[in-house]
Each structure stands twice: as structure tokens, then as C-alpha cells.
Amino acid sequence: MSQPVRIKDQWAEGRLFVSRSVIGMTLVFLLSATLVAQLVWLQIIRHDYFLDQAQGNRVRRDPIPASRGLIRDRHGTIMVDNQPTYQLELIREQTPNLEDTLTRLQALGMLNTEQLDQARRAIKARRIFDSVPIRLNLSDEEIGRFAVHRHEFQGVDLRTRQTRHYPFGQLGVHAFGYVSAINEEELKKLDRASYAGTTLMGKLGVEAAYEDPLHGRNGYSEILVNAQGRSVERQGAYHPVLKSEPPVAGRDLMLSIDLPAQRAAEEGLGDRRGAVVALDPSNGDVLVLASRPGFDPGAFGRGLTRAEYATLTENIDKPLLNRALRGAYPSGSTIKPAMALAGLHYGVLDPDKREFCSGEFHLPRSAHMYREGKGGKHGGVNLVDAIAVSCDVYFYSLAATLGVDRIANFLSPFGLGQLSGIDISGERPGLLPTPQWKKKIFKHPADQVWFPGETVNLGVGQGYLQVTPLQLAVMVSVIANRGHSFQPRLLTGLLDAEGKVTPVESVKRPDVDGVTSEQWDIVLQGMIGATTRGTAAAIGRGSSYPIAGKTGTAQVFSIAQNQKVSARIENERLRDHSWFIAFAPADKPRIAIAVLVENGGFGASVAAPIAKRVMDAYLKMDTGVPPT
């Protein structure tokens, strides 16, 4: 059977062809209309805008970093300033092959392996049109080497910038702080426009705390560039009107630091580990903030290698540690004047009654012996004598009578166990222990019990008590000012370009209430006694001004009951810490000071002479002798 043959339908095929042609023409028309509309939009409607954009490709806006504000001491002496330097900068959008460029810079000796990695991270963290510093503080030899090959590195150029200069080196480094390169995390938080062209920012101390006023406001300058990003005078007939805006320099900081006293403190500490903090009791001005050992702040601005940074962080002496704010130690006997005031305030002692010091103290129904320092025996002493000769037995008994709760409540307004509110970061609160604290900190029930012996130790500044040199300076300032005090502050004013100073007001701390004038007098007599006939008589002898002071020797480790107190400690880092607190002149206090020497031994022989040296330097300044 034959298959049916399909007859071709020419009419249907014609209709299909026409419909497809209409659809095709419609699409062509729509696409053409869209293209024409877009051309009209770009060439006519938005002509001026895109013309400016195109011309902007030939006009580059270069940021002009503002000059960073200077840092001055209380007499106007410049402690931190700026100096010009050359650095190597790269603009990613003008660099055809970034990796090849970096590799060739390394081969030229402009970058080492570590700097190469840092450069990659910095470039990726910035916008493609930002000028990114990849090498800071170039030497003359490096500048000359790159200048010869400059034409080979498209998008890379030498720029003149300012870097931080510390004319006194390490002096006051923990107070002033340092600047270093802005990292990726900081870039996420910063206003990039404000920091365009800025390489460094404050990272510690005053440099960090007052970054905003120090930074100033950047300006800009428009320059004509060619396709390679190099500046040119003209491009053909194109003569743009170039704009510029000058930067506004950062404001100078007027600090409370006294340069001669600061120098005296650091020279007094020498190579020993320790700290000195001196305050003006009348307003909280920090006259001295010294911590040793220190470090070179300029090295951070130049850029530290990993090896150099490791040398600082792994150093057993911890040069990066600000001992004045962050070093926490037992206070030793420096706590005794405040303890005496607590006893007077609560009425648990008669200041004139003479107590017998046999060199030992026992709690009732306890065989444990609490010994007098250095194995001494003071015989009969009243309160003034007990402060002057630093009688431990007297204060063991006083602490046991007061009890831990009354001690903690009374000492807290003196600034112990809390932040002082100083205007730079990094301060530690120390520890003023209580039974509630012990329950919170220890997990085992047996360890949560507060024992009477711990109160006895607290009475002479041992046990769990931890203080910073700054806290003891605040405490002695409170005593000097008879219960009144101010938050410690380094910034006293802001100086603008016209020489006008905007002062910063002092901030009052809560007063110590409930202590009578007669009670303050009794403690003052004891502290004057310490520098005239007591533990610190050596520094008071021949002094041209009266000094009220108190020595302290804080144990680093406990001595067994059957071990001699005078047993020699071979390991230097296990020896007692040396403390001294004082204010002077005793009748009209102008300076209150706390000195710590780690593992220095007896406070009178090590810390007290340093304090006297600082007080001499400051009080001579206060009488009009010009700074040196």
C-alpha cells in the first residue's frame, strides 16, 4: 500500500515568514531605539557630567596630609614633633601588573620578604585609586637607588611626608605613646577621606588618646597627569583650572608633665624595673609618669620587623608594659597611713595609747606567728610612732580589730581597687579584696572562706591586695589634700595655630568623708616622722622643705614560719619590691609622689632617694628656675 504524499502549504509558509520578519524587525527597531536613546543620554543629556569625569582622569586629586600637632610639657618645651621623610607609595589602578611590580621592587632591594607581604595586605585594604605607602622612612641610599629606576615602575613614586620625631628618645614614652602604620582593622573604622595620604596614627598613650585633635584636617591639590599617572604641565590644548585646599594642622597638646622632674625620675630608676608617678594634689595634674625599662617610640613609626617586635614582646623585663598604670603589686607598708585614718575614723584606737611591739603578733587562739619586718622589736609605740617607724605589729592588731569589711569600705574612696580615670588608656583597677570577692573568684567552697589571717595581712599591704603606682599616687594625693582629690590628667590645654590655648578643666573625685582635721594632723605627724626620725630619715635630713612620706617593702613570696627573715634571696626577681610615697612641702603640698622599684628591697634605701630627686627637680622649677 503506497504512503500518502503531503502537499506543500505555500500560504502557511508565507504567513510564517512574514510573522518572523515582523518580529525580527521589531527587535531590531527596539534595540536600535535603545542604542540611540543611550547615545542621546550619554552624549547630550549627560554630556557635561561625563566630560568632567573624562577630564578627571587627567586631573588627579592628591591629598595633602595635615601636619600632626606637637606635644609640649607644662612649660611649653616640645616633647614630640615632626620631621620630613621620604616614602615609597603605590596606586593600584595605575599599576598594570601589581605582582610583577612588587617582585621587581624586591629585586631592586626596596622591599624584603616581610615588607612584601605587608605591602600586599596594605594595598588590598585600600581603594584602587588610593596612594598606598609600601615603604616608610627611606634612607638616602634607597632614595637614590629608586630614583635611577623610577621610569620602570608605573604607578609607584616617591612622596615627601612627615614622620613623628621624639627628640628626648625614650623619655616619657609610656606617657606620650607612639604612632605606627594604620592597619586593616583600623581602616574599617576610620573615615578614609580624612585619612587619605596619612600613613601613621597614634597607638598608645597621649598619641592615641588625643588622636582627633592631633590629626588635624587634610587638604588636597589637583595635578594634571598623563596616562601613566605622572604629573605633567599640559596635555595638548587641555588647560584645566586646578583647585587646591590647604590642610589644617593638628592642635598642639599642652601636657601637665614637668620635663625636669620626668628626667629626674627616669634617671633615678636607671636600668632598674620600676615606675614613678607624681601628681599635683590641687588639680590632678600628672607631673611625672615614668615606667622603666622603656623602648624607642620612633622605631614603630619606621616600621618594626617581626624579629624586632618579638625582641620587645619576649623580653623578660617587659619594656612595653606601662608599670605606672598596669603594674599591680602588693602595697607593703605604704598602706599604713590610710589604715591609721580608718582606725581613727571608726574610733577603734586611741592615738596616744602606747602598744608594745615584741616583734610578733598572734591572733587569739592561733599559734600562727605574724612577724615584724626585718625581725625588729619596737617596744612601746603610739600611732604617730607606728607610722614613723613602720611597726607591723601595731597595724596587724589594728587590722584585726577593724575587720576586712570596714577596711575595704574606708580604703575605696582613696582610689584603691578602682580605675583612677586618667585620660590615657590601659589602666588596671588593681584589687581591694573582700569576702564577697573571694566567694566570686574561687570555685571550691573551702577556698571561698575569708580567714582572719587574711585581714591581718591586709593591714600591712600584703595578701591579695594589688595596687598600681598610679593608685598609690592618688592615695597619697588624697592624704596630702586632706580628703579632696581630682582625676589624674595629662592634658591641660589645646594650643591652636594662633597661639590660643583652650584649657581643659580638672575633674573632681569623691571626697573622703568622716575624718576630722585633728585626725588628718595625727597621720601627717606620723608621715613627717618617717622622714625625720623614722624609716626614711635619710632623705629628710638636710632637706630645705618638710616631707611627709611612708616607706614600703612588699614581699614577692611568703617566708615559712621556721625561716629567718634575713635569709638571703639568691634569685633577684624574688626579692621584695621597694615602695615610697610622699608629698611635699608637707605643710603646703605641691607634689604627691609614688615610687616603685621592682625587687629593689628596702623602700627607704632604694625608692625614697628617687622620690627625693624628683621632688627636688620639681620644687626648684616651681620657684622659678628655668627648665633645662
Task: Indicate which residues carry an active-site annotation.
Answer: 333
Q: Copy the grid coordinates of residue 605.
A: 634605701
Cis before 84? omega within 30: no
Query: CA–CA distance from 307 to each of 74, 313, 321 (Å)?
Result: 37, 10, 18
- Count of CA atoms in the C-beta half-sphere (13 A) of 609: 9
Q: Give the length of the chain.
A: 628
**3-class state of residue 329 by DSSP:** strand
DSSP state of 508: B
Please name the amino acid found at residue 100: D
**3-class state of residue 238 by DSSP:** strand
Helix 469-480 crosses helix 517-532 at what angle (to 10 degrees)? 120
Widest pairwise Cα distance in the chain: 145
Q: Copy the grid coordinates of residue 219.
A: 587638604
Contact by Cβ (8 Å): 285, 278? no
Contact by Cβ (8 Å): 255, 73? yes
d(CA 460, CA 516): 23
The sign of the CA dihedral 179, 184, 190, 193 is positive
Burial 283-303 (b: 16+ CB within 10 A, else e): bbbbbbbbbbbbbbbbebbeb
